[in-house]
Structure 1
Amino acid sequence: MRAWFQPLVVAMSVATAFGSNTVMAADYLVDNPQDFRQQQKQLQPGDTMILADGDWKDFEARFEAKGTADAPITLTAQTPGKVLIKGVSNLRIGGEHLIIKGLVFTEGHSPTSEVVSFRIDKDTVSNHVRVTELVIDNFSNPDRFESDYWVGIYGKHNRLDHSHLAGKRNQGVTVAVRLNSEQSQQNYHRIDHNYFGPRPELGSNGGETLRIGTSHYSLTSSFTTVENNVFDRCNGEVEIISVKSGDNKLLNNTFIESRGTLTLRHGNNNTVSGNVFLGNGVANTGGVRVINKGQEVANNVFVGVTGYRFGSALTVMNGVPDSPINRYHQVENANIHHNTFYNVSNLQFAAGSDDERSAVPVSSKFTHNLVVADDATTEFAAFDDVSGITFADNLATFKPVKPFAQGFTQVEVDAPNKGWPAAQSVNRQQVGASADTKAMHKDEVGPSWYAKPAAQTEFDSGASHTVTPGQNALFDAVERAADGDVLVLSAGHFNEEKIIPVNKTLTIRAAEGEEVVIAPARGTLFEIDNGGSLAIDGLTLTGENAPDSAGNTLIRTLKWGMLKNYRLVVKNTTVKALDINHSFDFFAAGARSFATSIDIQNSTFENITGHVLRLNQEQDDLGIYNVEQLTITGSEFTDIQGALALVYRGGTDESTFGPQVHITENTLTNVGHGKRNKAQASLYFHGVQQAMVKQNNFVSAAALRVEETVGEPTTELSKNSFKQTGQPEVINFLATAGGK
């Protein structure tokens, strides 16, 4: 159908420098890309172009026009939420005094480096342009490490507001403010009232939600204001917001269970004020990281934030003497005052101190802050000389250790049932954040007509279905199951002749008290695909019917290129007879796959010619890895020719929290001695950021090997028993230069 081209003409009164004039404004409804391009040529100040409801697929839109301050030109949806831009699509905007409203990008990705760009090309940028009620939802490039921005902001005096950006899974910043030309510097942009929804862990550098500038232009002022936004579970990497320019204001934003920090990475004279960080006890939730000159951190509230090192509630960094522009400039004249820290885990000063980062903070202040440790312990840590920071007029419910003690007075503070303690008054001076500092609710931001996403689908959250043994009965049941469902297997043998794809959250459990044996006839039983997460409970898995081929894998991900993160849980399960041929692994992660968590509990593994967990496919040393959190507890591993776990994270970048590995209360007997186990170790960790191996029994096993390569890794080996087993090897290969 061709679009209706007779415009609706509406008289508008426009005030000008010469008085009040009347102009004729028109509305143009278009329903296909060709008419969109043609009608755009006729737009005049005050006009509105309306995209008709429906799917706009493979739509590369270029919107270039010039309105006026009193009569902007508008591009809008016919009905909010019903104009869906899908497929390989994007939007480039150029001109002045434009409004773009109500567009939804979903079920696709951009063919270029940006989904929505505030420029047509390097010469045609946007000025005084407002993009409002924009939705970009899971619009990610299918290649996880093909980088792009969802929104690139160029030009000056632009605004992004009341928008919804959630589910970015590929590398690249969600929203980037660019300062790469004079026409985009000193820009005075405003980013406000947006919902930045869940961004899962990327497992690499390049997962920031918002970045203002880059290191190359970091000594340039941006004057961008970021205010009244909600950052909900933005977990892409250690920097949620990365400020890499000067004179920006980050005001009254709320961070909900977001793993990372607001990082003043480069640039000077930025203000962080009135923000609320709600960690809710979630691991690796952080606050503010301070680097460079003249930074002010004031009147913020940090609640239940658990992060450490670069992800603490507050981290004041060491710098590099005479630092290159892309490294760490010394902290000077930082003013950190009137903040409230409630049940936070860590406050760290002179962090990152090493041979390279040896320039300690100077001429800085930490004053009038309130630290309350009610049901959590708060640790103060100094990694170098902190005499350049004045600690004064602070209150705490405990006495901090030296060198912080002289700057604090110990007081009793009533802990509220909800919220956080109110500011205190000492000698008529306020200590802690003011009562005006309040958390925003998700419903206060984003377009009112677009629903906020729920948390990830939890295991056992759906319906329960009984499955009885039969030819490919499990394959058929998995295919019929819905997201979150539980398949309860009746007693007997399940002989599966097909590889079972798992593309939903699924639990497969033996009926209570029943023996359930699954014997696949293929080299793989389960393949975890995009959207899939798998929990198995109470089963016996055997390789006795597997083909006599080398390199079988009982459970695997897609062999290459998964976009969505997954979870794997194995508990109360017996795995045996993976020995039909050599190199038969229990689980193997494909290249460019990423597990949020892998958890093995109370299970038994025996007679395996390969590895139990192969999580070492990212060998290109780019800071990419295959698992965030690995937990193995209360299990037995016997006659395993390969390793129990191979975990590899190469490169020197410091932008991630993981991998984090906890191995506790297990028994390893005759593990790791196979001639094809190149690691020659029962457990092999390279570049792991947190390794805890505790209360395990190693019997006639290969040695444990840990290679520390980047960041500030923690390795805890305690209360383990080693019989006929070599002593653990912990080798420090720490690089002095990182990326973050």
Structure 2
Amino acid sequence: MILLKKRTSIGFFLLLGLFSHASSAKNYLVEDKKDYSNIAQRLTAGDTVTLKNGTWKDFEIVFSGQGNAGNPIRLKAQTPGKVVISGLSNLQLSGEYLQVSGLIFKDGYTPSSSVITFRHQDKEANHSRVSNVVIDNFNNPDKQESDYWVALYGKRNRLDHSHFVGKRNKGVTVAVRLTDEKSQQNYHRIDHNYFGYRPVFGSNGGETLRIGTSHYSLTDSFTKVDHNYFDKTNGEVEIISVKSGKNELRNNVFNEARGTLTLRHGNGNIVDGNVFFGNGQDHTGGIRVINKDQIVRNNYLENLTGYRFGSGLTIMNGVKNSPINRYHQVENALIENNSFINVRHIQLAAGSDAERTAVPTDTLIKNNLIVNDGRQPFTLFDDISGITFKDNVSNQPVLSELRPGVAKQNISLSRHKNGLLYPTTHSENVGVQRDLIVVSKDETGVQWYPKAPATTEFDSGATHRVAPTPQALYKAIEAARSGDTIVLSAGQYDISRLLKIDKVLTISAHKKGQSKLTFARSALFEIHDGGSLKLDGLALSGKNSPDAAANSVVRTAKWGMLENYRFIMKNSSVADLDINHSFDFFVSGKGALADQLALENNTFENITGDILRLDREIEDLGIYNAEYVVVNNNQFKDVQGTIASIYRGGTDESTFGPHLEFAGNTLTAAGKGKRNKTDASLYLHGVQVSKVTDNQFSHSAPLVIEHTVGEPQTAIKNNRFEATAAPEIKELHAEGPHTATLQNNQVTSDKERQS
């Protein structure tokens, strides 16, 4: 009885203490940075700080204090989504049981290494939560300047229901940091976040989520990543880079995301219940397995096109006695009950080379469903005797080495209410579970901020008809909005100023060839951040250009563009770029990256420079100037420089491009100018995918291709080389003959070589 009284007394006083503490908690409505500074050092458990609605510019927030589980300290917006943190701003948390919600970071960038950091100076945040926060295009204007958007330190923190879109400068969007024991074995949770469009970065450093680094990769993190939506997160080949052990990645959705969930370093990770929808988009991948004791279970992968390190499933070769930052051997992996539906590539012992010779061992692949239209997806790069296949089912006959563990069956599929395809004819023990929950886009991120399309499409806005005067064109460009089309009336436009393009615009002729443009500056169009340009049906001439070297018709900003852009020209003519030497048609500035450059059905004549100059990144760091270059059905005559000079140097393997499609073109007297240092009509260095088909080269310099790394895919087919040397193809790193495919080419020259 006495014991009961004591317990009652203790409980009463504990309750009384909590009530007393709660009643003493303060609510602060702060109106400016000075108000916040006045109260920031005296926050105690249960306090709430509310930032008044409005824009807070150049606000470096330090949010510290000692809350507890029942009485956290809160920092929130007066109205979620109505508090914008802009300019040189960031947020640092330190202490215990802190909660932040409702803020938007936009129109600025962090002056430090992170936008949101769960640490201030040397003190971490623990048991803290950042929720319902937006970071939208909050980028350092120097694209190569690296920062994180969120850096998690400490232990048992949560990042949830937040919205991250438009990370364009170098650095991981969200990083879990394991730099010392205070942040290791952390048990963080990252859940229900919307990771929106991250454009192709064009070099290493574009991961969306990273857990650890190679330095601490043998350390366990115990981070859980679940129910997030990765929407077109295209930065580089690793969407998620796991570089630590004992992490769980469950029930996330990857929608048209280029790259893979990569188990890059660390052991004993679990990848379970994730869904990958590629929708046939280039380089959409699935899961890449490296290291020990990895479990890949109950994942659904559909319509993925990626190959090599970006395949639907990649099991890597390792390096014998690997240093901590290279490739550890795959050992004791379990790959079970996954569904691979129209997954183009499953690659085993991938990356096999003179260094990566440690083949997978003690690995089991069982109860997986493989359904493909037309062909089986497996490629073997080395000995796979260490991989056991058991009770898998495929609708296509697979490679002979795999047949004992992969049964061929006729399989029909139907789509269930969760949006996934399931077989109607065979055992439910194969493939993903029927009750797999697929998180929707609407269930992630915040409810009060739009999930806007990744890019503005050409010709999606209003149409403006312009009279044939330069002034009318100037005004139309200034007044137009992104997506608009400006239609030029027939006539002569003598342009006296540089036309700056900082929005998505189409400029077209009302009647093809009857809108004629000359220009009196060193360029006619200059593309800036936010700008993309489409030209259609115009007649462009350089006859009124300055008598100086290195003019161009179109160029990007000369240095440091942050945003990717697009340029398309079709049904147009370009002539008389010859007032001086090195008069190019299109020139990329250093640091600029085109998502797409396309020339279709145009004529080019009498040009002293290059048509497409995409070779400004010469430091061999894996950076390049264009992702997709399409040159189809054009006529080129008397072009002294190259038709395209595309350069991607270095040995980095984290990117997919550049890509070139060059088809149906006629080249006459191309590439033979004395200032053409490449001695080529088409110069491709380090281009990853090249398709040169059905072209006619006449009295021109040869096609020169230099393969670097990444197993480049080069096809040269059905071309005619008249009085033109055969293509020159060099392997700059790999030993042995070149890997290009040459078929049905005709070569008639003094150096004739049958292809």
TM-score normalised per structure 1: 0.95
Separation in 2, partners of 1:517, 1:333: 67
Separation in 2, partners of 1:735, 1:39: 63
Separation in 2, partners of 1:434, 1:20: 50
- 1:603 CA displacement: 1.0
Q: Does 1:102 align with 2:102?
A: yes
- 1:734 CA displacement: 2.3
Separation in 2, partners of 1:572, 1:191: 50
Structure 1 residues 125 and 15: alpha-carbon distance in aligned structure 2, compared to 1, 3 A threshold: farther
Q: Does 1:74 align with 2:77?
A: no
Separation in 2, partners of 1:189, 1:471: 59
- 1:41 CA displacement: 2.2
Structure 1 counterpart of 2:586, which letter?
F
Match of 2:401 in 1: 403
- Summarize deviations over 1:393-447 as a string: whole Å, max 9, x none: 1111111123222321122222336743215786x66000012224322110111
Match of 2:746 in 1: none
- 1:16 CA displacement: 9.3
Report matched runs for 1:132-147 at 5 Å: 132-147=131-146
Match of 1:344 in 2: 343
Aligned residues: 720
8 Å contact from structure 1 (residues 608, 639) kept in 2: yes
8 Å contact from structure 1 (residues 59, 90) kept in 2: yes
Structure 1 residues 51 and 561: alpha-carbon distance in aligned structure 2, compared to 1, 3 A threshold: same
- 1:522 CA displacement: 1.6
- 1:473 CA displacement: 2.9
- Summarize deviations over 1:586-607 as a string: whole Å, max 9, x none: 0000000000011111111111
Moved more, 245-254 or 727-736: 727-736
Structure 2 counterpart of 1:422, which letter?
Y
- 1:514 CA displacement: 5.8
- Summarize deviations over 1:524-579 as a string: whole Å, max 9, x none: 11001100011111111111111111110100000000000000111111111111
Structure 1 counterpart of 2:402, which letter?
F
Moved more, 535-544 or 403-412: 403-412
Match of 2:380 in 1: 382
- Summarize deviations over 1:580-634 as a string: whole Å, max 9, x none: 1100000000000000011111111111100000000001111111000111111
- Summarize deviations over 1:101-123 as a string: whole Å, max 9, x none: 111101000000100000002x2
Separation in 2, partners of 1:587, 1:377: 41
Separation in 2, partners of 1:633, 1:652: 30
Structure 2 counterpart of 1:674, which letter?
G
Structure 1 residues 251 and 17: alpha-carbon distance in aligned structure 2, compared to 1, 3 A threshold: farther
Match of 1:271 in 2: 270
- 1:723 CA displacement: 1.1
Q: Does 1:361 align with 2:360?
A: yes
- Summarize deviations over 1:43-83 as a string: whole Å, max 9, x none: 11111111111110000111111101111111111110011
- Summarize deviations over 1:12-36 as a string: whole Å, max 9, x none: xx98994553122211111111221
Match of 1:27 in 2: 27
Separation in 2, partners of 1:548, 1:678: 22
Match of 1:7 in 2: none
8 Å contact from structure 1 (residues 684, 706) kept in 2: yes
Structure 1 residues 417 and 250: alpha-carbon distance in aligned structure 2, compared to 1, 3 A threshold: closer
Q: Secondary structure at the match of 2:205?
A: coil
Report matched runs for 1:414-493 at 5 Å: 414-416=412-414, 419-422=419-422, 430-493=429-492
Structure 2 counterpart of 1:214, which letter?
T
Q: Secondary structure at the match of 1:242?
A: strand
Moved more, 324-333 or 22-31: 22-31
Q: Secondary structure at the match of 1:422?
A: strand
Moved more, 707-716 or 405-414: 405-414
8 Å contact from structure 1 (residues 413, 421) kept in 2: no
Match of 2:42 in 1: 42
Structure 1 counterpart of 2:87, which letter?
G
8 Å contact from structure 1 (residues 274, 298) kept in 2: yes
- 1:140 CA displacement: 0.4
- Summarize deviations over 1:136-155 as a string: whole Å, max 9, x none: 00000000000000000000
Separation in 1, partners of 2:334, 2:187: 23
8 Å contact from structure 1 (residues 342, 420) kept in 2: no
Structure 1 counterpart of 2:659, which letter?
Q
Moved more, 228-237 or 517-526: 517-526
Structure 1 counterpart of 2:239, which letter?
I
Structure 2 counterpart of 1:396, which letter?
S
Q: Secondary structure at the match of 2:605?
A: strand
Separation in 2, partners of 1:437, 1:668: 55
Structure 1 counterpart of 2:38, which letter?
Q
Structure 1 residues 660 and 513: alpha-carbon distance in aligned structure 2, compared to 1, 3 A threshold: closer
Q: Secondary structure at the match of 2:429?
A: strand
- 1:42 CA displacement: 2.3
- Summarize deviations over 1:652-710 as a string: whole Å, max 9, x none: 11000001111111111111111111111111111111111111111111111111111
Q: Secondary structure at the match of 2:495?
A: coil
8 Å contact from structure 2 (residues 185, 221) kept in 1: yes
8 Å contact from structure 2 (residues 490, 511) kept in 1: no
Match of 1:704 in 2: 703
8 Å contact from structure 1 (residues 344, 377) kept in 2: no
Report matched runs for 1:271-290 at 5 Å: 271-290=270-289
Note the residue ranges of structure 1 that are not aligned, 5 or more in a row.
1-13
8 Å contact from structure 1 (residues 472, 497) kept in 2: no
Note the residue ranges of structure 2 that are not aligned, 5 or more in a row.
1-9, 736-755
Structure 1 residues 97 and 423: alpha-carbon distance in aligned structure 2, compared to 1, 3 A threshold: farther
Q: Secondary structure at the match of 2:151?
A: strand
Q: Secondary structure at the match of 1:331?
A: coil
Structure 2 counterpart of 1:716, which letter?
A
Separation in 2, partners of 1:406, 1:17: 70
The alignment yields a C-alpha RMSD, in angstroms, of 1.6
Report matched runs for 1:594-633 at 5 Å: 594-633=593-632
Match of 1:6 in 2: none
Report matched runs for 1:160-239 at 5 Å: 160-239=159-238
Structure 2 counterpart of 1:733, which letter?
L
Structure 2 counterpart of 1:137, which letter?
D
Separation in 2, partners of 1:449, 1:15: 42
Q: Secondary structure at the match of 2:127?
A: strand
8 Å contact from structure 1 (residues 643, 684) kept in 2: yes
Partner residue of 1:394 out of 369, 385, 392: 392
Separation in 2, partners of 1:619, 1:684: 14
Structure 1 residues 124 and 425: alpha-carbon distance in aligned structure 2, compared to 1, 3 A threshold: farther
Separation in 2, partners of 1:420, 1:695: 41
Runs of 4+, deviation exceeding 6 Å: 14-17
Structure 1 residues 594 and 514: alpha-carbon distance in aligned structure 2, compared to 1, 3 A threshold: closer
Q: Does 1:522 align with 2:524?
A: no
Q: Does 1:259 align with 2:258?
A: yes
Structure 1 residues 16 and 555: alpha-carbon distance in aligned structure 2, compared to 1, 3 A threshold: farther
Structure 1 residues 513 and 679: alpha-carbon distance in aligned structure 2, compared to 1, 3 A threshold: closer
Q: Secondary structure at the match of 1:29?
A: strand
Separation in 2, partners of 1:400, 1:150: 44
Match of 1:91 in 2: 91
8 Å contact from structure 1 (residues 222, 247) kept in 2: yes
